[in-house]
Amino acid sequence: MTNRSGAAARHEAEQPFDASAMTRPQKAAAILVAMGKPAASRLLKFFKQDELKALIEAARTLSTIPQSDLETIVAEFEAEFTEGAGLLDSGDAMDTILNETLSPEEVSALMSDEPVTPQNEGPPPVWPEVAKLDRERLAAFLAAEHAQTSALILSNLTSQVSAEVLLKLEKPMRTEVIKRMMAITSMPPAAVKIVENQIRTRLLADTTHKDNAAGQSRVANLLNELDKPLLDEVMQDLAASGAGGLDAIRARLFAFEDIELLTQRSRVTLFDGLSTELVTLALRNGSAGLTEAVLSSIGARSRRMIESELSAGADGIAAVDILRARRTIASTAIRLAGEGTIELPTAQPAAA
Q: How confident is the model at residue 1 (pLDDT cuts 50, 70, 90)?
A: very low
- Measured between its terminal Cα atoms, the distance across the chain in Å is 100
Q: What is the spatial distance between Cα 32 and Cα 301, in angstroms, rounded to a whole number?
A: 72
Q: What residues contact residue 49 under an 8 Å CB cut-off, 6+ apart?
A: 109, 110, 116
Q: What is the spatial distance between Cα 30 and Cα 28, in angstroms, rounded to a whole number?
A: 5
Higher pLDDT pick, 53 / 151: 151
Q: Considering only CA atoms, which of 9, 19, 5, 99 is closest in space to residue 64?
A: 19
CB 177 within 8 A of CB 155: no
pLDDT at residue 87 in the model: 41
Mean pLDDT of 117-136: 70
Checking if the pLDDT of 123 tops 60, the result is: no
- Listed by start position, the domains of the chain span 2-111, 127-209, 215-338
Higher pLDDT pick, 297 / 126: 297
Checking if the pLDDT of 252 tops 80, the result is: no
Q: How confident is the model at residue 77 (pLDDT cuts 50, 70, 90)?
A: low
Low-confidence winner among 107-121, 161-175, 337-351 (lowest mean pLDDT): 107-121
pLDDT at residue 2 in the model: 43
CA 291 to chain CA centroid, nearest Å: 42
CB 313 within 8 A of CB 304: no
pLDDT at residue 295 in the model: 94
Percent of the chain with pLDDT over 70: 65
Q: What is the pLDDT of residues 304-341, one digit of tens each?
A: 999 999 988 878 889 889 988 998 998 898 888 888 88
Mean pLDDT of 148-175: 88
Checking if the pLDDT of 222 tops 50, the result is: yes
Q: How confident is the model at residue 96 (pLDDT cuts 50, 70, 90)?
A: low
CB 64 within 8 A of CB 88: yes
Q: What pTM, to 2 d.p., does this model score?
A: 0.40
Q: What residues contact residue 317 under an 8 Å CB cut-off, 6+ apart?
A: 281, 284
pLDDT at residue 160 in the model: 87
Low-confidence winner among 23-32, 68-77, 290-299 (lowest mean pLDDT): 68-77
The torsion of the CA quartet 263, 268, 269, 270, rounded to 10 degrees, works out to 90
Q: Do domains 127-209 and 215-338 have the same CATH topology?
A: yes
CATH fold of the domain at 215-338: Annexin V; domain 1 (1.10.220)
CB 236 within 8 A of CB 350: yes
Q: How confident is the model at residue 294 (pLDDT cuts 50, 70, 90)?
A: very high
Assigned CATH for 127-209: 1.10.220.30
Mean pLDDT across the chain: 74
CB 293 within 8 A of CB 267: yes
Higher pLDDT pick, 289 / 28: 289
Q: What is the pLDDT of residues 194-219, one digit of tens each?
A: 888 888 887 776 544 455 566 667 77
Q: How confident is the model at residue 268 (pLDDT cuts 50, 70, 90)?
A: very high
CA dist 329 → 185, 270, 303 (Å): 45, 8, 17
Higher pLDDT pick, 233 / 348: 233
Phi/psi of residue 286, nearest 5 degrees: -80, 160
Higher pLDDT pick, 319 / 185: 319
Q: How confident is the model at residue 7 (pLDDT cuts 50, 70, 90)?
A: very low
Phi/psi of residue 18, nearest 5 degrees: -120, 100
CB 323 within 8 A of CB 227: yes
Q: How confident is the model at residue 144 (pLDDT cuts 50, 70, 90)?
A: confident
Q: How confident is the model at residue 46 (pLDDT cuts 50, 70, 90)?
A: low
